[in-house]
Amino acid sequence: MANKREFPLEKTRNIGITAHIDAGKTTATERILYYTGRIHKIGETHDGASQMDWMVQEQERGITITSAATTARWKDTRINIIDTPGHVDFTAEVERSLRVLDGSITILDAAAGVEPQTETVWRQASEYEVPRIVFANKMDKLGADFEASVESLHERLDANAHAIQLPIGKEDTFEGVIDLIEMKAYIYDLDENGSEYDIVEIPEEYKEKAEQARADLIEAIADIDDSVMEKFLEGEEVTKDEIKAGIRRGTLNLEFYPVLAGSAFKNKGIQMLMDAVLDYLPSPLDVRPYKATDPDSGENIELKADDEKPFAALAFKVATDPFVGRLTFIRVYQGTLESGSYVLNATKDKRERVGRLLQMHSNDRTEIDEVFSGDIAAAIGLKNTTTGDSLTDQKHPLHLESMVFPDPVISVSVEPKTKADQDKMNIALQKLSEEDPTFKAETDSETGETIIAGMGELHLNIIVDRMKREFKVEATIGQPQVAYREAFTKPTKAQGKFVRQSGGKGQYGDVWIEFTPNETGKGFEFENAIVGGVVPREYIPSVEQGLKESMENGVLAGYPLIDVKAKLYDGSYHDVDSSEAAFKVAASIALKEAAKSAGPVILEPIMKVDIVVPEEYMGDVMGQVTARRGNVDGMEVRNKAQLIHAMVPLSEMFGYATTLRSASQGRGTFSMTFDHYSPVPTAVQTEIIEKNGGNA
């Protein structure tokens, strides 16, 4: 088949934009789309006309919630941009984006440098080995400081970051940048939309500074790059191309982070940022191979961006589009896919038909016939595919390395106003949980209430809001509840014997099980160590099932019991009376018995909290943290304010926004993200058990 690929692989970039909330991701993305010719009007995020933040809630709240995948073209290169959210309640969105990206732009507010959320997403990007370039945005803002921003990358992220530009002017005199490689100045007209700029000689007053900065840059590259080092040592001149090649190699190897300056809002520096994306961020050919396993042979396979290989893609997002329905965003790792063809969902072992393929431009779209390796597209028609599934050639099933999402830590009850709302709500919740792997909805088996669970209060508020707007469901919302867990702390052995003899056929099941606390996060593991058929084979799955089901309801206060190893090692059966059901009950009796001696505890989610307050309020704020059972891990001075790092139980963080506001006259801010589960203090445990009419 003729290759209809429009952009060669080396002319493709899959990039994300990550930042602390409000650093200017959305504005920068918008400007990129503007200059790449996809939109014709510059929309401001604060007046609700933004092209990327298309969901109503995003426009109203001025924050980016979903990652919209947008395709743009800069010079001869296709750039797929994934807009990632900055709010910590949506880290799952950030993670899934990082998984499919090849490179990323980290945006800083040049007046603030590295901020707490910058650190979080930077760490995530390092974990996924995503090469980065840095854009120090808001150079027009009062207090903007380019050098301090670069310094903050060294200090707070320990990143080998170096300026490849210098800003010309700052705050309201910021008018352009000096390119330290070309040694030219790009000067914008202060009032224009930034489409045009002059390329001129470096202004006299910047010459010396620029020479010095260039020498520093070359030295920094020489430190990580042998070929530049050789020339440098021999005192030879390092050419522009060699500098660029050195920066590119360093950036791809995560050893170097080039820093640029600009102002998205004032339309400055965006074109140079786009050039840097082409020059320094990887094409799909430059990234480490994506891993997959052959489900039949168990063999590990490395996927290569190559159109000739069998098709393999990862579904990284499912979204409901108001016009075309269910969209599945896919990143193609190898091979090609035509619209109207069939693929295998290898994760679910189901054949799926790809009705249409779309290239997305935020809320606008173009239909395409085929998607090639290394590209990102949205497929319509996939019915059973959810986030993280592998889509492959039907004859070549592969399981692609998937994504791990944290379990929800907070829940709230939702009660529909009318019977009609109930039905609509069920549909809404199903759709929303298909889209968002960190959101779960279930019915409480005792009260019949619908419970929704997610990663934070804001996360759930947004879901409820979407339910109202998109699905027209009216519902009352309960108080947020912490998603507690239960765990064993000691190993123990217990018997579970279930015998019932009441006329007719009786019931008989008898098991001995050894329970051991499992490593955190390892979940439930079951081992069958029966010898000599004392428990017949056909009943073993029922024992495992019985344990699983009763673990769901916990042993202390009704919360799921997690991280337990269970070894079935003895038991007995009855020729006539034994049944699968009887062994299931026996297993649950064994679990209850074990709870008496296994030191069960209730675990609570502990949040990593970062609070920024002006110095004068620090005493009060620290007092509040301690009063909320929090531990202060450290403090730092940040731009004349204090940054407090603390670990605080989630249950103590409800309503904290209001407390902080009044304790700091509205000047404090905080962010939090789930860190780990930890046992609650005994007094709290007793309280929780009493409140839940505990079954201990």
Ligand X SMILES: Nc1nc2c(ncn2[C@@H]2O[C@H](COP(=O)(O)OP(=O)(O)OP(=O)(O)O)[C@@H](O)[C@H]2O)c(=O)[nH]1
CA torsion 133-134-140-146 (nearest 10°) is -120
Per CB under 6 A, which region of 263-271, 296-304, 319-327, 620-628 contacts ligand X?
Answer: 263-271
Asked if residues 373 and 284 have their Cβ atoms less than 8 Å apart, the reply is yes
Query: In angstroms, rounded to a whole number, what is the distance separating the alpha carbons of residues 580 and 582?
Result: 5
Binding residues: 19-26, 83-87, 137-140
The one among 43, 86, 103, 605 contacting ligand X by CB under 6 A: 86
Q: Which stretch binds ligand X (CB under 6 A): 44-52, 127-135, 500-508, 670-678?
A: 44-52
Q: Does 63 bind ligand X (CB under 6 A)?
A: yes
Tell the smallest beta-carbon distance from residue 23 to ligand X (Å): 5
Q: Give 430-459 as a 3 state SS string.
A: HHHHHHCCCCEEEECCCCCCEEEEECCHHH
> From its phi and psi, is residue 396 left (phi > 0), alpha (psi between -120 and 50) or beta?
beta
- Please report whether residue 272 would count as binding ligand X according to CB under 6 A: no
Query: Which residues make up each annotated binding site for GTP?
Result: 19-26, 83-87, 137-140
Contact 44, 407 (CB under 8 A): no
- Residue 31 near ligand X by CB under 6 A: no
CA dihedral 596, 601, 547, 527 (to 10 degrees): -90
- Parallel, antiparallel, or unpaired for β 290-293 and 399-400? antiparallel
Nearer to ligand X, 19 or 276 (CB): 19
Residue 23 interacts with ligand X (CB under 6 A): yes or no: yes
Which tokens is 485 given? 């867990």
User: Measured at the alpha carbon of residue 133, what is the angle toward residues 130 and 138, in degrees to the nearest 5?
Assistant: 130
State yes or no: residue 265 binds ligand X (CB under 6 A). yes
> What span, in angstroms and rounded, lies between the C-alpha atoms of 68 and 70?
6
Question: Is residue 45 involved in binding ligand X (CB under 6 A)?
Answer: yes
| Given 36, 97, 137, 149, the residue binding ligand X (CB under 6 A) | 137
CB of 58: closest distance to ligand X in angstroms? Answer: 8
The secondary element (H helix, E strand) that includes residue 606 is strand 601-614
Judged by CB under 6 A, the residue of 263, 387, 542, 642 near ligand X is 263
Question: At 529, which amino acid appears?
Answer: A
Q: Is 48 in the site for ligand X (CB under 6 A)?
A: no
Output 132 or 565, the one with its CB closest to ligand X: 132
Strands of 362-478 (E only): list them. Answer: 364-368, 370-371, 376-380, 390-392, 399-400, 410-416, 440-443, 450-454, 475-477
Number of residues in contact with ligand X, rule: CB under 6 A? 23
**Least distance to ligand X from the beta carbon of 602, Å?**
35
Q: How far is the CB of 54 from ligand X (least distance, A)?
A: 12
Q: Which is nearer to ligand X, 108 or 562 (CB)?
A: 108
* Alpha-carbon gap, residue 512 to 566, rounded angstroms: 10
Query: What minimum distance in Å lies between the beta carbon of 457 and ligand X?
Result: 17
Stretch that binds ligand X, among 21-29, 222-230, 487-495, 575-583 (CB under 6 A): 21-29
Cβ(87)–Cβ(302) under 8 Å?
no
Locate 616 and state its tokens: 């004068």
Residue 183, SS3 per DSSP: coil
**Does the protein bind ligand X through residue 472 (CB under 6 A)?**
no
Closer to ligand X by CB, 86 or 496: give it. 86
Q: Does 209 bind ligand X (CB under 6 A)?
A: no
Residue from the set 102, 140, 225, 610 that interacts with ligand X by CB under 6 A:
140
> What tokens were used for 456?
């934070």
Tell me which of 78, 96, 132, 138 binds ligand X, using CB under 6 A. 138
Interface residue with ligand X among 12, 14, 18, 64 (CB under 6 A) is 64
- Return the range that interacts with ligand X (CB under 6 A); candidates 261-269, 349-357, 487-495, 652-660: 261-269
Binding mask 217-256 for ligand X (x = CB under 6 A): ----------------------------------------
| 602, 688 contact by CB (below 8 A) | yes
Burial class (CB in 10 A: 0-12, 13-18, 19+), 625: buried
| Contact partners, residue 11, CB within 8 Å, separation at least 6 | 76, 77, 78, 283
Tokens representing 686 are: 């007793």
- DSSP code at position 2: -
Partners of 477 in beta bridges: 414
- Which one of 15, 21, 55, 409 is in contact with ligand X (CB under 6 A)? 21
Q: Is 99 in the site for ligand X (CB under 6 A)?
A: no
Q: Determine what percent of the chain falls in helix, strand and coil, rounding each to the nearest 5.
A: 30, 30, 35
84 binds ligand X (CB under 6 A): no
Taking the least distance from each CB to ligand X, the nearer of 458 and 632 is 458
Nearer to ligand X, 148 or 635 (CB): 148
Nearer to ligand X, 171 or 470 (CB): 171
- C-beta closer to ligand X: residue 62 or 599: 62
- The residues facing 113 across adjacent strands are 109
Nearer to ligand X, 63 or 157 (CB): 63
Type of residue at 611 = I
Between strands 132-137 and 161-163, the pairing is: unpaired
Q: Which stretch binds ligand X (CB under 6 A): 38-46, 341-349, 501-509, 652-660?
A: 38-46
- Least distance (Å) from ligand X to the CB of residue 316? 19
Tell me how far, at minimum, the Cβ of 27 lies from ligand X, in Å. 3
Structure tokens at 254: 């995560």
Work out the end-to-end distance of the chain between its first and last CA atoms, rounded to an integer number of angstroms: 67
Interaction between residue 459 and ligand X (CB under 6 A): no
CB 624 within 8 A of CB 659: yes
Compute the distance between CA of residue 310 and CA of residue 308 in angstroms, rounded to an integer.
7
Nearest residue (CB) to ligand X, 26 versus 283: 26
Q: Does 269 bind ligand X (CB under 6 A)?
A: no
> 176 in the Ramachandran plot: left (φ > 0), alpha (ψ -120 to 50) or beta?
left
Does the footprint of ligand X cover residue 24 (CB under 6 A)? yes
From candidates 22, 95, 102, 593, binder to ligand X by CB under 6 A: 22
Q: Judged by CB under 6 A, which stretch of 93-101, 132-140, 420-428, 539-547 contacts ligand X?
A: 132-140
**Site residues (vs ligand X, CB under 6 A):** 19, 21-27, 44-46, 62-64, 86, 137-138, 140-141, 263-266
